[in-house]
């Protein structure tokens, strides 16, 4: 059995440049997330914090952070928080996302994902809502997302 993402994070983040290395590992496994060059700041059951720097490649034609880059940040934070929070015999996949754009997103941004309710415990699949708040450098909320995760038991090969 492979180590959990949480155990890998805990081990690697203690090293010099460990947060950077962990972020690269995640982007290697899920390459689309590399488009926002995320940096994991915290990962624990019930919480994930990811930052993105102000880079031209995440800008739209107005010079602000593109809506899809914000959604990408929200999905990444929600997914990693879910992975760190659910039992090893469960798996997850995003089922839906609802978003609010509250203010121009400029500069470096911080996305924090937390569950809306306690961890799923059902033997069958169930929805698990995750809230993500993205703030700018001064702490103003610029974007909010609610990501619905589908959490279900892992299928075991016979």
| Residues above pLDDT 70, as percent of the chain | 96
pLDDT band at 123 (very low <50, low <70, confident <90, very high): confident
**pLDDT the model gives residue 1:** 44
- Cα radius of gyration rounded to whole Å, the chain: 16
Q: How far apart are CA 96 and CA 68, in angstroms?
A: 14
Q: Is the pLDDT of residue 2 over 70?
A: no
- Other beta carbons less than 10 A from residue 141's beta carbon: 12
- Other beta carbons less than 10 A from residue 154's beta carbon: 9
Q: How far apart are CA 51 and CA 40, in angstroms?
A: 6
Q: Which two tokens stand for residue 110?
A: 């911080």
Q: Is the pLDDT of residue 118 over 90?
A: no
Which string of DSSP letters, residue by residue, matches 67-112? Answer: HHHHHHHHHHHHHHHHHHHS-TTEEEEEEEEEEEE-S---SSEEEE
Q: How far apart are CA 126 and CA 143, in angstroms?
A: 26
**pLDDT the model gives residue 156:** 65
List the strands of the sheet with 47-52, edge to edge.
39-44, 47-52, 109-115, 126-135, 141-153, 90-101
Q: How far apart are CA 4 and CA 60, in angstroms?
A: 36
Domains observed in the chain: 5-153 (3.10.129.10)
Torsion region of 141: left, alpha or beta (phi above 0 gives left; psi -120 to 50 gives alpha) = beta
Q: Is the pLDDT of residue 65 over 70?
A: yes
pLDDT band at 89 (very low <50, low <70, confident <90, very high): confident
């Amino acid at each position: 059995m492979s180590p959990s993402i949480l155990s890998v994070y805990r081990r690697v983040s203690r090293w010099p440049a460990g947060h950077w290395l962990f972020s690269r590992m995640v982007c290697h496994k899920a390459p689309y997330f590399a488009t926002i060059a995320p940096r994991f700041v915290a990962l624990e059951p019930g919480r994930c914090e990811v930052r993105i720097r102000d880079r031209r490649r995440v800008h739209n034609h107005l010079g602000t952070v593109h809506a899809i880059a914000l959604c990408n940040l929200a999905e990444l934070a929600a997914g990693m928080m879910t992975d760190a929070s659910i039992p090893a015999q469960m798996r997850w996949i995003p089922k839906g996302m609802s978003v609010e754009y509250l203010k121009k997103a400029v500069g470096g941004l911080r996305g924090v994902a937390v569950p809306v309710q306690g961890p799923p415990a059902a033997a069958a699949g169930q929805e698990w809502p995750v809230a993500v708040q993205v703030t700018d450098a001064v702490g103003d909320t610029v974007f909010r997302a609610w990501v619905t995760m589908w959490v279900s038991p892992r299928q075991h090969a016979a």
